[in-house]
Amino acid sequence: SYAGLPTVDETIFGDNASAVFDQVEAIQIVACGTSYHAGMVAKYWFEQHLGMPCYVEVASEFRYRARAKRPNTLLLTISQSGETADSLAALRDAAPGEFLASLVIANVDNSALVRESDLVFLTQAGPEIGVASTKAFTTQLVGLLVLLLAFGRRKGLDAEVQKQLLLALRSLPDNVEAVLAQRARIEAVSERFIQKHHALFLGRGVYYPIALEGSLKLKEISYIHAEAYPAGELKHGPLALVDEDMPVIAVAPNDELLEKLRSNLEEVRSRGGELYVFAPEEAGFESSDRVHVINMPHCDAITSPITYTVALQLLSYYVAIQKGTDVDKPRNLAKSVTV
């Protein structure tokens, strides 16, 4: 008999996970920096696949504002270090009874957030040597997909979709290898950024937070000022910035938003902007003197944000190397922001 043995969820997330997950109707995510971007991705995933309301906020704001109570809501913090002061303060700021329970997705065991949360998912990415989060981010996204499956089993997520998700996770290492195989191409285009002072990242849907993360990496390790926008927002202001000196990096998977993105990129091209398009062959982009296409592997839709992230991380890495900045220890940043 299996009676009394921990469930799968308890094995992964800790004692009592099953009882908590059975009651969860909404998720409040709180995090900082890169980890906040992982939370933004989760919002797209949880609302699309489960119809589960998912609220995401930076910890440095969450803790300083009056909040309306949301019933049956799980408080989810995400943090590489598990020590980020704002995220920890947000957890501590939760009033008794405000949330059903707290869960942390963290990379460092026995860190403050791990000790103080009710449930824990350890990303086990190994030590992050550099200050800027990289493998922590991609493993946070995997952790969020595991959580999606845990809720999917409860919320009637189609068995076929659950199976597809498991298969997609299994082929993720091959997709990442395929991106790494493009490193020479990415290194070659990175040379064009050495003299640049600004860059614009564009994405749509779930790739908007991936664009944000790409721009954060470029800022953090190469000190190039970078912004990210959902591509449809271009015409509401940022288009004024586009000229021949402005590199525009587009995250362009072959999904249902591709045609909309393509017309946004046409707007950039017609204003002389130089395009760097991360896209699979079937998206049909062609390189020319002002358009540089970086071929991405064909990926399963649900895990594809993880694969595209690795490509953007490589771009920032090579730009930083070409500029001679310290990739592992960028100026002014600390690995864990504990004050």
Residues that bind ligand F1P (CB under 6 A): 32-35, 79-81, 84, 87, 131-133, 333, 335-337
Q: Name the catalytic one among 155, 323, 329, 335.
A: 335
269 or 329, CB closer to ligand F1P?
329
Residue 92 CA to residue 172 CA, distance in Å, equals 36
Residue 269 CA to residue 162 CA, distance in Å, equals 40
Residue 311 CA to residue 178 CA, distance in Å, equals 10
DSSP structure string for 196-230 = -SEEEEEE-TTHHHHHHHHHHHHHHHH--EEEEEE
Amino acid (one-letter) located at 40 = M
DSSP structure string for 70-98 = -TTEEEEEEESSS--HHHHHHHHHSPTTT
Residue 77 CA to residue 242 CA, distance in Å, equals 36
Q: How far is the CB of 273 from ligand F1P (least distance, A)?
A: 28
Q: How far is the CB of 91 from ligand F1P (least distance, A)?
A: 12
Task: Indicate if 155 belongs to the active site.
Answer: no
Q: Is 22 exposed, middle or buried (0-12, 13-18, 19+ CB in 10 A)?
A: exposed
Find, among 68, 58, 118, the residue nearest to 90 by Cα.
Answer: 58
Q: How far is the CB of 19 from ligand F1P (least distance, A)?
A: 28
Q: How far is the CB of 180 from ligand F1P (least distance, A)?
A: 21
Find, among 82, 44, 132, the residue nearest to 327 by Cα.
Answer: 132
CB 134 within 8 A of CB 112: no
Q: How far is the CB of 132 from ligand F1P (least distance, A)?
A: 5
104 or 251, CB closer to ligand F1P?
104
Active site residues: 335
